[in-house]
């Protein structure tokens, strides 16, 4: 009961406070007049008329119930009450300005990057240590979104897009092409996948994505003309499928640009197999603004450098 009484009292006090406070729009005018001791100079600084500033001061004096300035011949002088209030008003204005500046600083050092769940989980997350080491003063915010949306409309600075080459905007920055292969953990799966019999004891990890049929095993098997019905595990998120492959749960159709680190360190191996359906999709970077801010420009440079590293890794793996 006591807590309820205190809560009701606090609510009444908070609701009553705005009625006793003078309008906040008179604060800049009062501070400027207090600093310059001139209605004319204050009005010029605030881009207002002298009569508007004078009305604000009269309104404030009416609200506090006493004069804040002494009107002398062609001069103003603060009363004791006015001097005290000026100190408080300047402190409040500085706090407001500092708060706005802090928010602007936060916005200037935060970069929002959008990509599909699979690209973020498999390609971006393993590289964030490099980002933090290279740009400790900048914050990256990752937005996992499988929908294709324009960066400006989605409220992001950069977007990694997976799309057909002819569907990408003209100013998209290419990262790497899609390359598909059968992959599995080193201890799992056949040595090669050259005929349907090799799938007799296999479990296939398939990606259920109607928009990307070339990533599904039924589509791959149909392209080979193999009439087999192996065991399958179905996933609606590609990164989950790959984690299952890493755990030795089955064979996956691997998107090699996303899997380059695991192929390089041996946690995944490429299984020789016939080529799958042709995929004309590629990965590209889209920018919301041109020219980008300095922080976003650094993020663009970093993403492009990581893409170049991915291409070099894939080339090295192909030559082994």
Examine the pLDDT at 292 and tell me if it is beyond 60: yes
Q: For 106-146, what is each residue's pLDDT tens digit?
A: 555 689 999 999 999 999 999 999 999 999 989 999 999 88
Q: 127 or 14: whose pLDDT is higher?
A: 127
Residue 25 has pLDDT above 50, yes or no: yes
- Given a cut of 50, whether residue 279 has pLDDT beyond it is yes
The predicted pLDDT at position 203 comes to 95
The whole-number pLDDT of residue 1 equals 47
For residue 110, give the 3-state DSSP assignment: strand
Pairing of strands 158-164, 281-287: antiparallel
pLDDT at 43 over 60: yes
Mean pLDDT of the chain: 86
Region of poorest pLDDT, from 6-15, 101-110, 223-232, 237-246: 6-15
65: left (phi over 0), alpha (psi -120 to 50) or beta: left
Residue 13 has pLDDT above 60, yes or no: no
Q: b or e along 291-313 (b: 16 or more beta carbons within 10 Å of the residue's beta carbon)?
A: ebeebbebbbebbeebbeebeeb
């Amino acid at each position: 009961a006591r807590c309820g009484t205190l809560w009701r009292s606090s609510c009444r006090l908070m609701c009553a406070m705005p009625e006793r406070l003078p309008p906040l729009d008179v604060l800049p005018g009062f501070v400027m007049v207090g600093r310059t001791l001139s209605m004319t100079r204050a009005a010029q600084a605030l881009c207002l008329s002298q009569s508007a500033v004078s009305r604000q001061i009269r309104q404030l004096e009416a609200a506090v119930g006493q004069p804040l300035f002494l009107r002398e011949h062609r001069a103003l002088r603060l009363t004791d009450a006015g001097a005290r209030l000026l100190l408080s008003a300047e402190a409040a204005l500085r706090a407001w300005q500092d708060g706005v500046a802090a928010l602007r600083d936060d916005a200037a050092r935060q970069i929002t990057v959008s990509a599909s769940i699979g690209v973020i989980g498999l390609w971006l997350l393993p590289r964030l240590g490099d980002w933090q080491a290279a740009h400790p003063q900048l914050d990256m915010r990752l937005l996992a979104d499988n929908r294709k949306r324009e960066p400006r409309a989605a409220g992001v600075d950069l977007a990694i897009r997976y799309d057909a080459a002819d569907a990408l905007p003209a100013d998209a920055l290419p990262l790497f092409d899609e390359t598909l292969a059968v992959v599995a953990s080193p201890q799992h799966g056949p040595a090669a996948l050259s005929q349907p019999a090799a799938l007799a004891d296999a479990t296939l990890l398939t990606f259920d994505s109607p928009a990307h049929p070339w990533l599904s095993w039924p589509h791959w098997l149909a392209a080979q003309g193999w009439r087999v019905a192996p065991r399958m595990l179905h996933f609606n998120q590609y990164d989950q499928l790959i984690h299952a492959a890493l755990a030795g749960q089955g064979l996956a159709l691997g998107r090699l640009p996303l899997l380059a680190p695991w192929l390089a360190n041996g946690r995944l191996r490429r299984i020789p197999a016939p080529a799958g359906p042709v995929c004309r999709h590629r990965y590209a970077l889209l920018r919301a603004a041109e020219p980008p801010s300095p922080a976003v420009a650094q993020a663009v440079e970093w993403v492009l450098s990581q893409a170049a590293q991915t291409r070099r890794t894939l080339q090295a793996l192909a030559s082994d």
